[in-house]
Amino acid sequence: MSRKLLHLLLAATAVAAAAMPGFALERSQVPGGFKWDLTPLYPSETAWQNAKAALAKRIPDAARFQGHLGDSPDALVRALDAIMDLDRDLNRLTTYASMLTDEDTRISRHLAMRESAQQLGVQFRSTIAYLRPEILALGDDKVRGFVASEARLRKYGQFLDNILRYAPHTLSEKEEKVAAQAGAMTDAGETVRDVFTNAELPYPEVTLSSGKKVRIDQAGYTQYRALPNRQDRLKVFHAFWTKHREFQGTLGAALNDQTRAHVFDRDVHKFDSCVKAALFRDNIPVRVYTQLLSDVNANLPTLHRYLRLRKRMMGVDTLRYEDLYAPIVKNVDLKYTPDEAMKLTLAAVQPLGDEYVSTLRKAFTGGWMDWMPTTGKAGGAYSTGVYGIHPYQLMNFTGLYEEVSTLAHESGHSLHTYLADSHQPYVTHDYSIFVAEVASTLNENLLIHHTLDITKDRPTRLFLLGSYLDNLRGTLFRQVLFAEFELRMHELAEKGETLTGENLSKLYLDLVRKYYGHAKGVCKVDDLYGVEWAYVDHFFYDFYVYQYATSIIASTAIANGIRQEAALPGHPTARRDAYLAMLASGSSKYPIDLLKGAGVDMTTSAPFRAAMKEMNAVMDEMEKLLAVKQ
């Protein structure tokens, strides 16, 4: 059988597997070229067990450095080298076990391996708990003096600086121990919420216009909220959110407890606000957060323009909140084989240079990727990596355009990891979420523009342009709505107010109606949907969601610059090279400084204005296409 025919067969089988409950490939049925190869990590599970036993014996030895970090520059570098070696080997151990588990979650042996690796991680972190307090106790002058006098410490400069800047927010050793013990209770709200929504909330059932009865749990809501029949969507929305409102008191109490934990951390560690405490981890100025909210609020007319365009394309008299996930272009059925997805993605990222493309081609065919959905396999998609080996990608590819976009997205993460690992020592090879999602969304941007360049069919172009706008609505405007809600609820908690389900729903409803132009007749938002906050687990993550918006803003600006540069005579590469240098920098600089090096200053509104310019240009193109008589 030819490789092309095999790809077609596998893609068709995978589509059927996704569409038919209880039907899926077994992992043994997937050819080796479509499965990742974990032998570079460990040649066998026995080798992993031997490595785990050896690592368990080495971890206690890390305690011998306690009390001696300040003896000399040599003592400090030897301690850090030993600790980083342990951390690297532990990451390798944990990643292998986690990936084995994700191959088939039914295999309890692999789950036990993952849990034992995680337990070893707890032991390791407990053993080196002295590290940060002892470095802080040495003081800024002594630590920086050590770095200046010992060349082997230079690679640890950023790592040490990141510890030293916490000095004003660090307590005595005994006080930090008490705070840590109290911190063990900080996840109680999230735990209650997760158990309740995943296991105990009595999700409703509805009967669709087809006569099919479906359960509207979280997965069901995500699936059925996009049904083309509007009455079906109304049923789905009403049933799902009515059940959440029924339990908004319980869910509000859980979120209140989680927010109180954030207020506790703010007070104990002497921060001005919860948002400052959260952003301090990556050294992000609070003005980046507040400016993002200000920029989005000032540009809500752009969102409203998109919503009016959606209303026009859907042919409805009144756009409703229930219409936002429905397809705006019908009868466009884009399907791709793995070969086609790879070819399209490689062509799309060509502006990033031959080395980037050749490395990604190797990733596609060299055992870095796990392509097909199989029985028991973990859902979704991700990229992970082990320093000194290469990145890995998990996919569940069934041939949809959205999954080609996911391939480009995760490949952005993988090449980020590859470049950072190739150019950085272990201590600075990793990178923050603030820049991580830039690499992934930039690839999505290149993909959509390339696909549009080679697509002339009017309905398909409208579909692609509409998908791009939907992504901007969801990743930029919706996430900033979440970010504003998160900020406002923390401000209420900081004033001593108790967050209840009722007042959280009122706060959220006011914001969602403002964003979606309810009072202006842009999009009707029923009172019931004020409880949507109860569905968003990211509100328990402590000021996380704003990074989705900042990332797509930054990546849009960078991608525009790279594409414009590539179109110039002589094909200059300064912007591309600056971007690739950012990816190769890992965490050797703080995120804001890394992005500045790539030509994007997130402390200004310029990148946001570039994103809005592109969004309006997309709508201009769609309106031109709609004006063409068929």
246-268 pLDDT tens trace: 999 999 999 999 999 999 999 99
Smallest Cα–Cα separation from 476: which of 437, 426, 436? 437
The conformational region for residue 322 under phi > 0 = left, psi -120 to 50 = alpha, else beta, is alpha
Identify whether 410 is a catalytic site residue. Answer: yes
- Please check whether residues 476 and 592 belong to one and the same domain: yes
- Please check whether residues 159 and 307 belong to one and the same domain: no
Answer whether residue 1 is part of any domain. no
- Please check whether residues 169 and 298 belong to one and the same domain: no
Answer whether residue 254 is part of any domain. no
Structure tokens, 326:
């429905």
Structure tokens, 289:
């957060």
- 5 has a pLDDT exceeding 70: no
Predicted pLDDT of residue 346: 98
Structure tokens, 511:
């914001």
- 535 has a pLDDT exceeding 70: yes
- 586 has a pLDDT exceeding 80: yes
Answer whether residue 8 is part of any domain. no
Task: Give the Cα separation of 118 and 395 in Å (integer).
Answer: 24
- Please check whether residues 175 and 297 belong to one and the same domain: no
Predicted pLDDT of residue 8: 38
Looking at 152, 183, 214, the residue that finishes a domain is 183
Q: What is the CATH number of the domain that holds 147?
A: 1.20.140.70
R_g of the chain computed on alpha carbons:
26
- Please check whether residues 169 and 299 belong to one and the same domain: no
Task: Give the Cα separation of 630 and 626 in Å (integer).
Answer: 9
Answer whether residue 63 is part of any domain. yes
- Please check whether residues 313 and 449 belong to one and the same domain: yes
Counting every residue written for the chain, the total comes to: 630
User: What tens digit of pLDDT does each residue of 167-202 get?
Assistant: 999 887 778 777 776 766 667 788 888 888 877 889
Answer whether residue 470 is part of any domain. yes
The count of structural domains within the chain is: 2
CA-to-CA separations, 110 to 96, 140, 306, in angstroms, rounded: 10, 45, 47
Predicted pLDDT of residue 183: 65
* Full domain range(s) for residue 71: 42-183
Element (DSSP H or E) covering residue 271: none
- Please check whether residues 427 and 547 belong to one and the same domain: yes
- 212: which residues sit within 8 A by CB, 6+ positions away? none
Task: Give the whole-number percent of the chain exceeding pLDDT 90.
Answer: 81
Looking at 166, 183, 200, the residue that finishes a domain is 183
Predicted pLDDT of residue 213: 96
Which amino acid is located at 110 in the chain? H
C-alpha count within 13 angstroms, C-beta hemisphere, residue 476: 29
Adjacent-strand bridge partners of 509: none
- Please check whether residues 297 and 428 belong to one and the same domain: yes
Task: Give the Cα separation of 292 and 436 in Å (integer).
Answer: 18
- 597 has a pLDDT exceeding 80: yes
Sheet of 391-394: strands edge to edge?
369-370, 391-394, 382-385
Looking at 183, 206, 235, the residue that finishes a domain is 183
- Please check whether residues 299 and 445 belong to one and the same domain: yes
- Please check whether residues 177 and 309 belong to one and the same domain: no
Answer whether residue 20 is part of any domain. no
| Pairing relationship of beta strands 205-207 and 213-215 according to DSSP bridges | antiparallel
Q: What is the CATH number of the domain that holds 516?
A: 1.10.1370.20
pLDDT band per the 50, 70, 90 thresholds, residue 6 = very low
Residue 24, helix vs strand vs coil: coil
Question: From the candidates 103, 410, 484, 486, which is the catalytic residue?
Answer: 410
